[in-house]
Chains A and B, each alone.
Chain A
């Protein structure tokens, strides 16, 4: 286990470095001088040179990267050009909001998708199976940003049950465990849950189907266990992979929620990215993407380690 953990860590480090290089270069593939966003257009050549050396843009790229990563490792992601606040604090607050909605969505998706997949896998090639596969196909091919708008039309505009947009009562941004806050979470979470639901349903169906064909299931039944007991064994065997799929989905949602967060004006990272892009706030763009991508890399690592803890067979593959 310790050896496996070390090996897995060693494999993650180069990927993490690569991800940081890509995030660093993002600012440099942007058209135009990165300084144009900070300086007025009529800035003197002297001022431009001064700013260039201040930001380190006059140094060669690898040196710039070194300086940048050194600051990042000390928790400094620079300052937002639009608000002047440190990027770290802006991103931190947004990440928490994103985690809340992504975790809610993953839970709903895991529950619904898991049940759908188990039923479909158990009763393969029946009408229930076909219905489940139609639902999961719809789940993966629906443009989720459109689904969000449709849900707003139904539940906010027509029925008036839930608020259409926003991240909390009165735009305060205060999180609390009461309906006044949670009602804002319902529609974004349901919209977002559709994607993991389809994917989890598909993998669980395949898993359950595969496990059912294995000899040990027959042996358990032959031993005289009731169907319910046999089923418990099947679920135990399916669980590690299902949880791994769920963990990765959480990461995807966190990074991929930009469209849904825009539809619902949810104050998460997607919303922040959107603002950063249209205000050409490059430090904010870079910082947000770096944090999200690193989160995804670490989540991948954790999922792998947890999976090998539950099911030691994983280490051998």
Chain B
């Protein structure tokens, strides 16, 4: 590395921890958001160590123990319609539910940012081509598009994941494009170009550094929607297939039990609600901490 390059990159490296330090500090002062973050970490740990925490097998049941109420000895949260331990199934259910809810957003974030930043930076025909295509997909209500795609592709975990990812690409691309277009028009980009910075440097330092934050905050806000949508697809029978434990699917198969064990039947949905609201609160906290205007 020549001394000249070192001089150029050093200030950027020195400044960035300062910003993130501030974000972490502001976020940790927000007690509600910290509480929600702890809930999420707890859920993730629960998913990872399900095999050690769960008291019973989540798949094996017994017809003799069907639909036991909450508090039955040996079944702290009751038993489901096939006599399987609800507590164990809810713990194991975190694996598939979190996987399905969480993974579409980062993938859509990468693809959407790539498309949106390209469209915003290059402009012209490329912009029109990308954005008009995105407009078409944006013209579908999100739930309808997810159901239509996974319905056409056929039920299953992979197809459900593909559908949800495709649903989130258009809104992320739109945000990325509008932020990039705004930043591109600012004076300091012209200044950087005038001082001889290459396109690569401008994109890497000046564009990415300023647009990724807002896109990231927007994408975190989608996680809670993604959780609801993913479990919703399983609820419809388009995602995870029985007997695998997944909260949305469990909610569906327990629907027949609302007359006999209403509390047990409502449990899986309560888990989806808890997860979705925790992600929503964390996303709000992050927006505040990163000082991004919505």
Contacts and interface: CB of A to CB of B under 8 A. Distances in A.
Interface of A: 14-15, 18-19, 21-22, 26-27, 29-31, 137-138, 140-147, 149-150, 152-153, 157-158, 164, 251-252, 254-259, 262-263, 273-274, 276-278, 282, 285, 289, 292-293, 296-297, 300
B266 interface: yes
Given A142-B273, A146-B270, A153-B258, A256 B142 contact: yes
Contact of B224 (A141, A150, A257, A289): A141
Interface stretch (B49-57, B85-93, B111-119, B147-155): B147-155
Contacts of A18: 132-133, 135-136, 139
B228 interface: yes
Contacts of A277: 147, 151, 236, 238
Contacts of B251: 145-146, 149
Given A141-B277, A143-B228, A149 B151 contact: no
B136 A22 contact: yes
Question: A-side binding surface: helix, strand, loop or mixed?
Answer: helix
Nearest to B254: A149
A29 B140 contact: no
Contact of A273 (B137, B147, B224, B270): B147
A283 to B, nearest CB: 12
Contacts of B235: 145, 259, 262
A141 B279 CA distance: 9
A93 B152 CA distance: 23
A26 B132 CA distance: 19
B281 interface: yes
B152 A149 contact: no
Interface string B12-23: 000000000000
B280 interface: yes
21 contacts: A18-B132, A26-B148, A27-B152, A29-B153, A30-B152, A31-B153, A141-B273, A141-B277, A143-B232, A146-B273, A149-B266, A164-B258, A255-B141, A258-B143, A258-B236, A259-B143, A259-B235, A262-B235, A278-B237, A289-B148, A300-B139
Given A22-B137, A143-B232, 16 more contacts: A14-B135, A18-B139, A137-B277, A137-B280, A143-B273, A147-B269, A153-B265, A164-B258, A251-B141, A252-B143, A255-B143, A255-B144, A276-B151, A285-B152, A293-B144, A296-B144
The bracket for how many chain B residues form the interface is: 35 or more
Interface string B188-216: 00000000000000000000000000000
A145 B272 CA distance: 11
A292 B139 CA distance: 10
A143 B269 contact: yes
A141 B227 CA distance: 9
A29 B148 CA distance: 11
Given A15-B136, A29-B153, A259-B232, A292 B273 contact: no
B276 A141 contact: yes
Contacts of B180: none
B123 interface: no
Q: Which of A22, A145, A257 has the most CB of B within 10 A?
A: A145
Contacts of A276: 151
Contacts of A152: 258
B154 A30 contact: yes
A11 B147 CA distance: 27
A145 B280 contact: no
A127 to B, nearest CB: 15
A30 B151 CA distance: 8
Contacts of B232: 143, 145, 259
B181 interface: no
A31 B262 contact: no
Given A141-B273, A141-B276, A278-B237, A153 B266 contact: yes
B236 A259 contact: yes
B231 interface: yes
